[in-house]
Chains A and B, each alone.
Chain A
Amino acid sequence: MGRAKLPRKSTTVDMTAMCDVAFLLLSFFILATKTKPPEAVKVMIPSSVSSIKVNGEDKVTVTLGKDGKVFLAFDDKNKRKQIVKDLNTRYSLQLSEADIAKVDKAEIFGTPMSQMKSFLNLPKESQSGEKLPGIPVLDSTNNQLRDWLASAVAVYTGDRMNLLVKGDGLAKYPVFKNVIDAFKKNDLMKFNIITNQEGLDPASALYKEKKNAPKAKE
């Protein structure tokens, strides 16, 4: 037989360029991702068909843990400080200037006001929801959430407060009722409940309505 061997061409591809592109894309996504706001407690939120997006930087979040603990978080650091200062004067919590400076680091509040001083002096790791007792709301005479929100309303004068409720699916209704009570006493009638997105049943009335009037907003 003659030379039946075909001339072999090189099949190795130089992966250098591909590697560069991959790392470029990776760095883009790393920089584009915003850090998740710190959570006090792990909350399994219920789902709903609502598709209104949670927007805005300046959010006030009330978190309901599944054991009934209530936590409060303010996104805006300046307003947070002012609220704590206001509470300090109204309820004489005896917070020093140093304590108030620590408010910057406190992402979430979850103690009765009497324990505020010791809470602010805790190291960052202990400020997690598991160890915190939560803001007392269950006693209608001692609904401290109402006091917190009263200060918040005073600080937010004029600006609309983006009030959000993030509740664990297993949290019992009485806690939620008292949270709503605190809102009502402060005249905060509009708020949003954070939920996971759920698919809308095509047989439902809402689906038909959305299909027939895509421009009409709910």
Chain B
Amino acid sequence: MAEMDTSSGGGHKKGPGVKKAKKMSTRVDLTPMVDLGFLLITFFVFTTTMSEQTAMKLNLPKDTPNEDELNKAKESGALTLLLARDRTVYYYEGILKTDGSNFKSSNFGELRKVILDKKASTNVEDLVVVIKPGDEATFKDVVDVLDEMSINVIKRYAMVEIAEPEVMLIKATEGAGGAPAPATATPPPTK
């Protein structure tokens, strides 16, 4: 940028009747403009990196072989997770007993410990985690559970429909104030 050299800098005292040509300085200090420029640059740098999103792979098993696989899985190696509302997770190992004695409740914070305990106590070939999200479970819950499978390196897991007795059991437990209680085989009359 050209510099216009003026002989006098400002600061003239204008007296009455003094007819002197006002020579104003045309020097512009560009420092704030550079600040603005760098601010905009950092903005664009950060917005371009933020727009990159990551993805989680999900491969669905085919429906019919799924049943066989579940039946083949040993009872002792199966851990079933039932996702209910408000980030509550109910779980049981093996097959759900009719008196509900192995029906336990937990939440997402404790879930990892539950999974790791199960993993430590079973053979790798027998371990299978069955995920049954309830109707009140949110998408985030499902993604979090699938994430836990990945974090804890569980090779075999399946996402299936929740069954009626389990829905009953969850309702009964929620009705009882969240405390895991053995539910009777007959559904509560207020259903």
* CB of B81 to closest CB in A, whole Å: 13
Which stretch in A84-92, A94-102, A109-117, A186-194 binds the other chain?
A186-194
Assess A26 versus B151: contact at CB under 8 Å? Given A46-B144, A50-B55, A50-B56: no
B134 contact set on A, CB distance < 8 A: 173
B133 located at the interface, meaning its Cβ lies under 8 Å from any Cβ of chain A in the complex: yes
Known: A50-B56, A184-B63, A206-B151. Is A29-B44 also a contact (CB below 8 A)? yes
**A residues 187-218 touching B (CB-CB < 8 Å):** 189-198, 200-201, 204-206, 209, 218
Name the contact of B56 in the complex, choosing from A19, A22, A48, A171 (C-beta under 8 A): A48
Max count, chain B CB within 10 A of own CB: residue among A34, A64, A205 = A205
Question: Is B75 an interface residue when CB atoms closer than 8 A count as contact?
Answer: no
A50 contacts B147, C-beta separation under 8 Å: yes
Query: Are B60 and A180 touching (Cβ within 8 A)?
Result: yes
* Complex-state Cα separation, A51 to B52, whole angstroms: 11
Minimum CB–CB distance from A162 to chain B (whole Å) comes to 10
Indicate with 1 or 0, residue by residue over B38-63, a CB within 8 angstroms of chain A CB atoms: 10110011011001111111111111
Assuming the A-B contacts A26-B41, A172-B138, are A16 and B57 also in contact, with contact meaning beta carbons closer than 8 angstroms in the complex?
no
Q: What is the bound-complex CA distance between A160 and B135, given in angstroms?
A: 32
Pick the contact of A196 from B54, B58, B59 — CB < 8 Å? Answer: B54
- Residues from 133 to 189 in A contacting B, C-beta threshold 8 Å: 164, 167-177, 180, 183-184, 189
Cβ-closest chain B residue relative to A31: B44
* Number of chain B residues close to chain A: CB under 8 A: 48
B25 at interface, CB cutoff 8 A: no
B52 touches A53 (CB 8 A): yes
A172 adjacent to B139 (CB under 8 Å): yes
Q: Report chain B residues within 8 Å CB of A50.
A: 54-57, 147, 150
Name the prevailing secondary structure of the A interface residues. Answer: mixed
Q: Does B21 contact A (CB under 8 A)?
A: no
With an 8 A cutoff between CB atoms, is B152 at the interface?
A: yes
Residues on the A chain within 8 Å of B29, using CB? 15
Is A164 in contact with B55, judged by CB distance below 8 angstroms? yes
Is B95 in the interface zone, CB < 8 Å from A?
A: no
Whether the Cβ atoms of A46 and B135 lie closer than 8 Å is no
Selected contact of A48 from candidates B30, B116, B147, CB within 8 Å: B147
What mask results when residues 56 to 75 of chain B are scored 1 for a CB within 8 Å of chain A, else 0? 11111111000000000000
Q: Are A54 and B55 in contact (CB under 8 A)?
A: yes
A216–B86 CA distance with the chains assembled, in angstroms: 37
A122 close to B (CB within 8 Å): no
Cα distance, A70 to B37, chains bound together (Å): 41
Q: Does B83 contact A (CB under 8 A)?
A: yes
CB distance from B158 to the nearest CB of A (A): 13
Say whether B57 contacts A195, CB under 8 Å: no
CB distance from A63 to the nearest CB of B (A): 11
Considering the complex, give the chain A residue whose CB is closest to the CB of B45: A29
Is A16's CB under 8 angstroms from B1's CB?
yes
Task: Report the bound CA distance from A33 to B43 in whole Å.
Answer: 11
Chain A residues with Cβ below 8 Å from B31 are: 15
> Is A105 positioned at the interface, with any CB of B under 8 Å from its CB?
no
B140 CB within 8 Å of chain A: yes
Question: Is residue B99 contacting chain A, with contact meaning CB distance below 8 A?
Answer: no
Complex: how many Å from CA A89 to CA B58? 33
List, sorted by A's number, 14 A–B pairs whose CB atoms are closer than 8 Å. Answer: A16-B30, A30-B44, A32-B48, A33-B51, A46-B144, A48-B144, A49-B150, A169-B138, A170-B139, A189-B62, A190-B59, A191-B58, A192-B58, A193-B55
* B contact residues vs A (CB 8 Å cutoff): 1, 29-31, 33-34, 37-38, 40-41, 44-45, 47-48, 51-63, 83, 112, 116, 133-144, 146-147, 150-153
The 6 closest A-B pairs by CB, nearest first: A22-B37, A169-B140, A29-B44, A192-B55, A15-B30, A46-B140
